[in-house]
Amino acid sequence: ASIIAKVTRDRYMKSLDAEYPGFGFGIHKGYYTELHKEAIENMGITPLHRRSFEPVKSIVQAHGEEDSL
């Protein structure tokens, strides 16, 4: 079951790459990486990002963002 869940999530994240270009969802599969951090800092957050998750929360607060893309 865990393998099926991972494969399903990976496919979903890859599909989000087209919807939100520049965030690297197809590469990092939703895991927080340096590339992902830089994308959030440069482009803001998407409706997919959990604002309560650190360090996303700190980035949002630092940039004064309430809403995003």
Contact between 60 and 50 (Cβ < 8 Å): no
Domain assignment present for residue 49? The answer is yes
pLDDT, position 68:
46
Full domain range(s) for residue 12:
2-63
Beta-carbon contacts of 69 under 8 Å, excluding residues fewer than 6 positions away, are: 20, 43, 44, 45, 46, 47
pTM above 0.75, yes or no: no
Question: Count of domains in the chain?
Answer: 1
Domain assignment present for residue 68? The answer is no
The pLDDT tens digits for 2-51 are: 999 999 999 999 999 899 999 998 888 878 888 888 998 899 889 988 88
Contact between 38 and 23 (Cβ < 8 Å): no
Domain assignment present for residue 69? The answer is no
Helix (H) or strand (E) segment spanning residue 67: none
pLDDT, position 66:
55
Residue that the structure tokens 């496919």 belong to? 11
The pLDDT tens digits for 59-69 are: 888 877 654 44
